[in-house]
Amino acid sequence: MTTRTPWRPVALLAGLVLLTSACGGTTKSDVQQQQSSAPAGSASSAASSAAADPNAPLKQGLKIAFLPKQVNNPYFTIADKGGVDAAGEFGGEGKEVGPSDASASSQVSYINTLIQQKQDAIVISANDPNAVVPALKQARAAGIKVVSYDSDTAPEGRDIFVNQASAEDLGRTEVQLLAKQLGNKGKIAILSATPNATNQNTWIEFMKDELSKPEYKDMELVKVAYGNDDDQKSFTETQGLLRSYPDLAGIISPTTVGIAAAARYLSDSPYKGKVKLTGLGTPNQLRKFVKDGTIEAFELWNPADLGYLASYAAAALASGQTTGAEGETFKAGKLGTYTVGAKGEVLLGKPTVFDKSNIDDFDF
Amino acid sequence: MTSAASSVTSAGRGGGRRLVDRVARVRELGIVVALGALFAVTGAANPSFLSYGSLRDILLNSAIVALLAVGQTLVVITRNVDLSVSSVVGLSAFGGALILADHPGVPVPLVIAGCVALGAACGAVNGLLVGAARVPALVATLGTLYAFRGVDYAWAGGRQVNAADMPEGFLALGTRSVLGVPLPALVALAVLLTVGWMLRNLRSGRELYAIGSSPEAAVLAGIRVRRRVLTAFVANGALAGLAGVMWAARFGTVDATVATGKELDVIAAVVVGGVAIFGGSGTVYGAALGAVLLASITSALAVLRVDALAQTAINGALLLAAIVLDRLLALRVAAALRRRRSP
């Protein structure tokens, strides 16, 4: 507690400065402006005045902390390992810290600790887009670069958001994947996570939009069920879908817990291979079901690449290769060169489709 | 709460006991009626709910919670509670899955025995805290709920064991049917009948009720309370360990968060099943029926196409309705008994 006190006045001041500069409204151009002006407004920011130089060398010995939604989540373990490996490549030092529960407030104390430790960059997947912003503003005021990955914070809380795949791509390609297996006709259902999961709900909106296109006129979305990312509940909901819609042709499950539970149910039921299942899952989790014919194909981005890219983005920010402004570029090791898009977003790429032919090439 | 127990002491021998038995049986009858009503209504709306496949799914869904409810009943009867069961299930599921994944040569029965032993060890920790150290069960097991989960997190370190990593023969145990009944349900049934018989007929079983009815009186009667309470916790832990293996076999995807929050489902099943939360009365049959009722409600809501956002609220309302129905029936029977006894 006592070690935290010296930072309070500085943080408070910086917070006030940011607050006043953020009061002007939130149109897109304003957000952009805030991003470039925010570091300059802080007292202790060292590299703030330097313009972006895409050819600047990456600094050595950068300390980069990965703060996932929760530790113990295999997805983040893989992503953060990718990030730590990347840090090793460019001579930095990466580590993963974080809470064991994914609640909105649990990350704040970790951010405070990281500020005290004087990290060079924080790479965060936000449990709540707003709850972490005040703490992240403190961090940025202290000269720490902030990159969000997987799940974004409000734009004023970070310099760059590394987006795993655009919501639009994910939503539309999942429908396309299933439509191809069904010959563009039949009743389909969605097995999602919780009813208020932001990611899933955005994807589902794009799925519905894709389904409204004329080529899918014979496909009907009959129900969106919610398995709450709980094995048992997802299992029961899958059973319920098949009982209440006996002529169901396919299920899309845009969550790794849901698709695994649904696959497990289908693989042991008479519906195996008849009811098509697709969605987002990891190859290790679904390998068995792809090989036994329960699932033809599913998709996901590569979480290790996501962490890798976020790590390089953090290093590029800390080394002055980019400031996070639109149109700037930076290099991300083996992944090549990336360009910062609108609102400080960097897109990892199109999701990878996994099927029988390529699933053995992936191990995550 | 203690009407059943007090009537044991007040009423005479033979006739009194038969009366108590009848009351006990009626207690479960309430849940059976609720279950029957649920199946009738849902079946009328969608006949496929009554199909063989659907009934099999419900049995499969309720098996694990039923097993845990049986164990929990042992503890609740002694006027204690074990909140840590979900963490024990998680620890056992992860431990079992990890060994099967990393050491494919280890025979499955040995893994199952190991998981049961692990669960029993966790139960012993709870039992010693409650029985020997005299920490209130609610507090002690709340502590171990976090402690065991913490060990699980540290052990797993973010790792996930997937279906493809575990032997096919083991996974089949989670879903295979014998004579049309899923194996996990058969295991739960066997445990249920054994524990039910022991509670009813063995001295050690009757003593658990005595402890729950009045701990002080139990001490004065020469019952070794601490030892019995410890035994109840160990047995509950062992059953949680078994439930953990069943979880791993059934879902095939196991990480450190397995079964988080399930303790409340288990306690709900126990309470719905007519086991008095302050100890001294109730049967494992009621608790198991409670688990089946809970699983049936969840399945029924999914089959009836109830709006997902309303499901949790409706689930809770139906639970309350079942408890009220059970309570009304119990009161009615108690009144009838009093009338018969008064002249």
Interface contact B309-A243, CB threshold 8 A: no
pLDDT score of A67 more than 80: yes
Percent of all residues in chain A with a pLDDT value above 90, rounded to a whole number: 57
Of A72, A236, A268, the CB nearest to B255: A72
Interface contact B308-A231, CB threshold 8 A: no
Q: Which amino acid is at B71?
A: G
Q: In terms of CA atoms, which chain B residue is nearest residue A256?
A: B253
Chain A contact probe: residue of B162, B297, B309 with most A CBs at under 10 A = B162
Extract the tokens encoding B156: 């797993």
First to last CA, chain A: 40
Domains along chain B?
Answer: 3-8+26-337 (1.10.3470)
Size of interface A-B (CB pairs under 8 A): 105
Interface contact A233-B163, CB threshold 8 A: no
Q: pLDDT digits over A264-275, tens only? A: 999 988 899 899
CA of A134 vs chain B CAs: smallest distance (Å): 28
Strand partners, A94: A64
Contact A224/B at CB under 8 A: yes
pTM over 0.80: no
Task: Report the candidate in A281, A228, A232, A275 with the shortest Cα–Cα distance to residue A253.
Answer: A281
Strand partners, A354: A298
Interface contact B153-A100, CB threshold 8 A: yes
Contact B154/A at CB under 8 A: no
- Give the β-pairing of B181-182 and B177-178: antiparallel
Interface contact B253-A261, CB threshold 8 A: yes
Interface contact A239-B54, CB threshold 8 A: yes
Chain B contact probe: residue of A192, A244, A247, A256 with most B CBs at under 10 A = A244
Per-residue pLDDT of chain B (343 residues; tens, 9 = 90+): 444 444 444 444 555 656 655 655 566 777 888 899 999 999 999 888 898 888 988 998 899 999 999 999 999 999 999 999 999 999 999 999 999 999 988 999 999 999 999 999 999 999 999 988 899 999 999 999 999 999 999 998 878 888 888 898 898 898 888 888 999 999 999 999 999 999 999 999 999 999 999 999 999 999 999 999 999 999 999 999 999 999 999 988 898 888 988 999 999 999 888 888 888 888 999 999 999 999 999 889 888 888 877 878 888 888 788 778 777 777 777 777 777 766 5
Q: How many CB atoms lie within 10 A of CB B338?
A: 9
| DSSP code of residue A3 | G
Domains along chain A?
Answer: 44-164+303-349 (3.40.50.2300), 167-300 (3.40.50.2300)
| A284 contacts in chain B (CB < 8 Å) | 160, 162, 164-165
Contact B48/A at CB under 8 A: yes
Range among A232-246, A314-328, B76-90 rated most confident: B76-90
Contact A223/B at CB under 8 A: yes
Interface contact A243-B298, CB threshold 8 A: no
| Alpha-carbon gap, residue A44 to A35, rounded angstroms | 16
What pLDDT does residue B280 have?
A: 87
| Alpha-carbon gap, residue A329 to A182, rounded angstroms | 41
Of B53, B61, B160, the CB nearest to A236: B61
Q: Tell me what the pLDDT averaged over chain A comes to.
A: 84
Contact A260/B at CB under 8 A: yes
Interface contact A288-B163, CB threshold 8 A: yes
Q: In terms of CA atoms, which chain B residue is nearest residue A101?
A: B257
Cβ(A224)–Cβ(A195) under 8 Å?
A: no
The pLDDT-based confidence of A44 (bands split at 50, 70, 90) is very low
ipTM > 0.95 for the complex: no
Contact B147/A at CB under 8 A: no
Extract the tokens encoding A334: 């083996």
Contact B308/A at CB under 8 A: yes
* Non-local CB neighbours of B141 within 8 Å, separated by 6+ positions: B81, B82, B83, B84, B126, B129, B130
CA of B36 vs chain A CAs: smallest distance (Å): 19
Extract the tokens encoding A118: 């004087």
pLDDT score of A52 more than 70: yes
Task: List, in sequence order, every beta strand (DSSP E) within chain A.
Answer: 63-67, 93-96, 121-124, 145-149, 160-163, 186-192, 219-226, 248-253, 276-279, 297-300, 329-331, 337-339, 345-347, 352-355
Of B51, B53, B257, the CB nearest to A72: B257
Task: Report the candidate in B70, B112, B83 with the shortest Cα–Cα distance to residue B262.
Answer: B83
Interface contact B255-A260, CB threshold 8 A: no
